[in-house]
Amino acid sequence: MTLLGVAGCTYFMGVPGADDVMLEYQSTSYHDIAYLHRQLDKRPAPEFDLWLQARGITNRLGLLQVDDGPHPLREITL
């Protein structure tokens, strides 16, 4: 993902899952993409950036919020 980002790839989909060696793909999650944003000094698309902030996932600087308190994402059960 880092090599693709440096090469100019502009779209990554964060799909938490697992690596599949047989099919030769690796899943990503949002924290992987947040890492890439920080490293390459990039931001998400403006509308997605606002969506993340409105839900308390990121702050105004685009950094993931660190909070151990209650959060709607922690209440999701599968």
Q: What's this model's pTM, rounded to 2 decimal places?
A: 0.64
Rg, C-alpha atoms of the chain = 14
Q: DSSP per residue over 7-72, as a string?
A: TT-----------BTTTTB----HHHHHHHHHHHT----HHHHHHHHHTTSB-TTSPBP---S--G
Q: Are residues 6 and 33 in the same domain?
A: yes
Same domain? For 54 and 19 the reply is no
Pair (37, 49) in one structural domain: no
Tell me how many domains the chain contains. 2
What is the predicted pLDDT for the residue at 41? 92
Q: In this structure, are 30 and 51 located in the same domain?
A: no
Q: Which domain holds residue 63?
A: 45-78
Taking all residues of the chain, what is their mean pLDDT, rounded to a whole number? Answer: 82
- Domain identity same for 2 and 36: yes
pLDDT value of residue 18: 66
Q: Are 38 and 58 within one domain?
A: no
The predicted-structure confidence for 23-36, as pLDDT tens digits, reads as follows: 667 777 777 888 88
Give the pLDDT confidence of 46-66 residue by residue, as tens digits.
999 999 899 888 889 888 887
